[in-house]
Amino acid sequence: MDRLVSPDTANPTVVIETSLGTLRARLWADKAPVTVENFLVYVDAGSYDGLIFHRVIDGFMIQGGGFTPDMTQPPTRDPIANEASADKPNNRGTLAMARTSDVHSATAQFFINLVDNNFLNHTDETASGFGYCAFGEVIDGMDVVDKIAKVPTGRHGSYDDVPSEPVTIASIRHQA
């Protein structure tokens, strides 16, 4: 007998516990399966526990998943293919994969869009038009995201926009 998969099962929810509060996000496994699988491998391994939101730009995004409080980068898995597409815009509250100028360089770092960042959307297959893959959305706790966006930031070594006091990711877990 065929079993219908509920949207909650097909698109898992994660709980992100931070030093400034808790948020929940629904991941779009139906739209970005490789990206969601990659993110959940890091989640299930506890790789995000104790890391920080290391880049915070109010009016743009908050970025985490790549540095410890002393700005050390933990090892990552191999980069994944960029699944950015026009049907997954970088709107306010969406989670997206951070990457370098190499279109297919995303590993562990992700960001949460604070506004509709249309300039990050996929427009074509060129390096400048490929965009950033949105792979989920905050469904509860945007007030926490907005609180993180307002923390004072400065320079830390060669990095700009680093919170003056670390905003720690205590854990990211599948919602039971």
- Dump pLDDT digits (tens) for 73-83: 999 999 999 99
Q: What is the mean pLDDT of the chain?
A: 94
- Dump pLDDT digits (tens) for 90-141: 999 999 999 999 999 999 999 999 999 999 999 999 999 999 999 999 999 9
pLDDT value at position 9?
62
Taken in order of first residue, the domains within the chain and their CATH numbers are 9-174 (2.40.100.10)
Give the Cα separation of 38 and 112 in Å (integer): 17
Percent of the chain whose predicted confidence (pLDDT) is above 70 = 94
Phi, psi of 107, deg, nearest 5:
-125, -90
User: Angle CA(152)–CA(155)–CA(159) in degrees, nearest 5?
Assistant: 120
65 touches 131 (CB < 8 A): no
Kindly give, in sequence order, each residue whose CB lies less than 8 Å from that of residue 27, ignoring residues fewer than 6 positions away. Answer: 11, 12, 13, 14, 36, 39, 40, 95, 135, 136
